[in-house]
C-alpha cells in the first residue's frame, strides 16, 4: 500500500531552485498600527519594508546570491514562503526547531489582525532572506545581527497555528472556530503540566542551524511585543539518519516515523492532511490548513537503557539496529498482521501495531508524523530530561490523532515515556502572495 513507501522519498529534500534575479521589492504601503513605536521610529517604516528583502545597491547582497554562497557554507537555501499550504508542514524534520506557544495580548480584533499581519511580514522576510535596513541615527539596529549583515534563509520555515482559546469571546471569532479544534485531551498515561500546554497561538521555526532559528525567534518577538506573550517553548533537533539512507532515530534509539503517508501523494495528503473546502462543520476559512497536534514527551532514557534490547524491540515491533518490522527484511516493508493474528512475531500491543494496524478500517486514522528530539538539561534526581517533540498533521484530530492515541493507551512503552505538554492547533492555510497574510480569510 502507498503508505509503505518511504516517507517522502521524493519529497522536498532538495530545496527548490533559487530564483536568480535580485529580490528587490517596493516598500509596502503604510505601517501596522500594532507596531506603533517601531512605526514611529525613523527606522520603523523601513523595518516593515524589510519584509521585501532590501538590498544595498552597489553591494549586491540579494538573497539569491546570499543563499548560493550560504549553501556553500553549510546553509540551506530558501523554502518558498508563499503557497496554498504552509511550507513547513510537509518537509521532513531537518536541522533544528523551536516551538513557542503564545497567548494573545492584543486588546481587540484590529490589533489581532495587525499581529497576524506582522508575524506574516516577518516570516516572509526571514524565510526569503535579505539585508535588514540600517537604522541610521534614528534608533538601535533593526536586526539582532546574529546572522551577520545579510539574513540567510537557511531553509527556515515558520509554521503558524491557532489554538482553541483564540476563539473565545475576546475577538468575536467564536463562530469561526475550526470544527475539530479543542483543548488538548489528557490521555490516561499523560502527566500534563498546564504551564506547558495550549496557547492561543503557536509558532514553530525550523532551519538548518540554531542561530537561524534564534534569529527568527528574536525578530518575531521584537516585532510583536505588545501583541503576544510567550507561554512555553521547547527546542528540538532532527538527528541525521544513521546509517545514512534510513530514518532518523528518536532518543530511545529507534527509527521514528518510518510508516508515514507519502507527502508526494496528493491524494493521501488530501485525504489525511489538508482541511478540505466544504468539510462538514468546517468554516470556509480553514480550507488548506492542517490540524497540528503537539505532544511534549519526556523519555526516561536511563530506565530505557536498562532494558534488554529484545524487550525494547518487542515494545516497538521493530528491530533497533535496522528499523525493520520484526516480521520483515526491509525498512519500509509493511508488517503482515494477518499472518500473525496472535502476535507471536509482533506482539498485539507493540507500538507500531497499535499505532497503525494497517487495515482498511484504520487507514483514515493515519497521521503525518513529524518528530523532533529535544534535550533540555536534567531533572531533580540528576537524570537527563530529553525526549520527543511529537508533532503530527491531520485533517481531523478525533478521527486521526485521538483515534491512534486511544489505541495506544496502556501500551507497554508508557512506562518509559511521560507526555507532559503540548496542545492542539490549526496550522492556518498558506499565505498565497505578497498581499496575503496568515489567517486573512478568518477576518474576511
Smallest distance, Å, CB 35 to another protein?
A: 8
Residue 277 and residue 284 in contact, taking contact as beta carbons nearer than 8 Å: yes
Phi, psi torsion values for 197, nearest 5 degrees: -125, 150
Q: How far is the CB of 339 from another protein (least distance, A)?
A: 54
Strands (E), 227-327: 228-237, 290-299
3-class DSSP state of 415: helix
Q: Which is nearer to another protein, 54 or 424 (CB)?
A: 54
- Closer to another protein by CB, 95 or 227: give it: 227
Shortest distance, position 100 Cβ to another protein, whole Å: 14
| Residue nearer to another protein on the CB measure, 53 or 153 | 53
Q: With contact defined as beta carbons under 8 Å apart, do 153 and 63 qualify?
A: yes
Closest to another protein by CB, 58 vs 245, is 58
Q: Comparing C-alpha atoms, which of 197, 215, 196 is closest to residue 207?
A: 215
d(CA 165, CA 13) in angstroms, rounded, equals 35
Longest dimension (CA), the chain: 75
Minimum distance from residue 128 beta carbon to another protein (Å):
15
Q: What is the closest distance, in whole angstroms, from the C-beta atom of residue 224 to another protein in the complex?
A: 9
Residues that bind another protein (CB under 8 A): 21-22, 24, 27, 36-46, 54-60, 62, 103, 105, 131, 133-140, 222, 225-229
Q: Nearest distance from residue 298's CB to another protein, in Å? A: 23
Minimum separation from the CB atom of position 55 to another protein (A)? 6
Q: Which is nearer to another protein, 1 or 17 (CB)?
A: 17
Phi, psi of 241 (to 5 degrees): -65, 130
Per-residue DSSP letters for 307-347? S-HHHHHHHHTB-TTT--BTT-SSTTPPP-STT-TT-SSS-
User: What is d(CA 197, CA 214) in angstroms, rounded to the nearest whole number?
Assistant: 22
Q: Which is nearer to another protein, 49 or 77 (CB)?
A: 49
Q: What are phi and psi of 402, to 5 degrees?
A: -65, -30
**Structural contact between residues 39 and 48, judged by C-beta atoms closer than 8 angstroms:** yes
Q: How far is 224 from 130, CA to CA, in rounded Å?
A: 20
Q: Give dist(CA 346, CA 311) in Å, integer.
A: 12
Phi, psi angle pair for 164, to nearest 5° = -60, -35
Please, which residue, 136 or 240, has the CB nearer to another protein? Answer: 136
Nearer to another protein, 88 or 227 (CB): 227
Residue 225 beta carbon to another protein: minimum distance, rounded to whole angstroms: 4
Using DSSP bridges, classify how beta strands 417-427 and 96-104 pair: parallel, antiparallel or unpaired: unpaired
Amino acid at each position: 500500500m502507498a503508505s509503505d513507501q518511504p516517507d517522502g522519498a521524493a519529497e522536498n529534500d532538495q530545496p527548490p531552485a533559487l530564483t536568480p534575479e535580485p529580490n528587490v521589492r517596493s516598500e509596502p504601503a503604510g505601517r501596522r498600527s500594532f507596531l506603533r513605536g517601531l512605526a514611529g521610529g525613523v527606522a520603523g517604516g523601513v523595518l516593515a519594508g524589510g519584509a521585501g528583502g532590501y538590498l544595498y545597491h552597489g553591494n549586491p547582497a540579494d538573497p539569491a546570491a546570499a543563499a548560493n554562497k550560504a549553501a556553500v557554507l553549510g546553509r540551506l537555501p530558501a523554502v518558498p514562503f508563499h503557497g496554498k499550504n504552509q511550507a513547513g508542514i510537509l518537509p521532513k524534520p531537518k536541522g533544528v526547531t523551536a516551538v513557542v506557544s503564545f497567548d494573545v495580548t492584543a486588546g481587540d480584533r484590529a490589533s489581532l489582525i495587525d499581529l497576524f499581519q506582522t508575524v506574516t511580514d516577518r516570516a516572509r522576510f526571514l524565510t526569503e532572506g535579505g539585508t535588514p535596513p540600517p537604522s541610521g541615527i534614528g534608533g538601535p539596529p533593526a536586526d539582532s545581527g546574529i546572522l551577520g549583515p545579510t539574513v540567510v534563509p537557511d531553509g527556515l520555515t515558520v509554521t503558524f497555528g491557532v489554538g482553541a482559546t483564540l476563539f473565545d469571546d475576546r475577538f468575536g471569532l467564536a463562530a469561526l472556530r475550526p470544527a475539530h479544534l479543542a483543548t488538548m485531551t489528557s490521555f490516561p498515561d499523560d502527566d500534563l503540566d498546564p504551564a506547558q500546554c495550549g496557547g492561543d497561538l503557536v509558532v514553530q521555526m525550523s532551519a538548518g542551524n540554531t542561530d537561524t532559528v534564534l534569529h527568527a525567534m528574536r525578530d518575531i518577538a521584537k516585532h510583536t511585543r505588545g501583541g503576544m506573550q510567550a507561554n512555553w517553548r521547547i527546542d528540538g533537533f532532527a538527528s541525521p539518519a544513521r546509517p545514512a539512507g534510513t530514518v532518523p532515530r528518536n532518543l530511545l534509539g529507534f527509527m521514528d516515523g518510518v510508516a508515514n503517508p507519502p507527502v508526494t501523494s496528493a491524494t493521501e495528503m488530501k485525504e489525511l492532511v489538508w482541511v478540505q473546502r466544504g468539510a462538514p462543520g468546517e468554516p470556509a476559512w480553514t480550507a488548506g490548513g492542517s490540524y497540528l497536534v503537539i505532544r511534549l514527551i519526556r523519555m526516561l532514557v536511563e530506565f530505557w537503557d536498562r532494558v534488554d534490547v529484545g524487550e525494547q524491540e518487542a515494545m516497538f515491533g521493530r528491530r533497533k539496529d535496522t528499523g525493520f518490522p520484526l516480521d520483515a527484511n526491509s525498512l519500509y516493508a509493511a508488517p503482515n498482521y494477518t499472518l500473525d493474528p496472535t502476535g507471536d512475531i509482533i506482539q498485539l500491543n507493540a507500538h507500531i501495531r497499535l499505532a497503525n494496524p494497517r487495515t482498511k478500517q484504520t487507514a483514515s486514522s493515519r497521521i503525518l508524523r513529524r518528530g523532533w528530539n529535544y534535550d533540555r538539561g536534567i531533572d531533580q534526581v540528576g537524570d537527563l530530561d530529553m525526549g520527543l517533540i511529537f508533532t503530527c498533521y491531520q485533517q481531523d484530530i478525533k478521527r486521526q490523532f485521538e483515534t491512534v492515541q486511544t489505541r495506544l493507551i496502556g501500551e507497554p512503552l508508557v512506562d518509559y515515556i511521560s507526555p507532559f505538554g503540548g496542545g492542539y492547533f490549526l496550522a492556518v492555510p498558506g499565505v498565497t502572495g505578497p498581499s496575503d497574510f496568515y489567517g486573512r480569510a478568518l477576518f474576511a
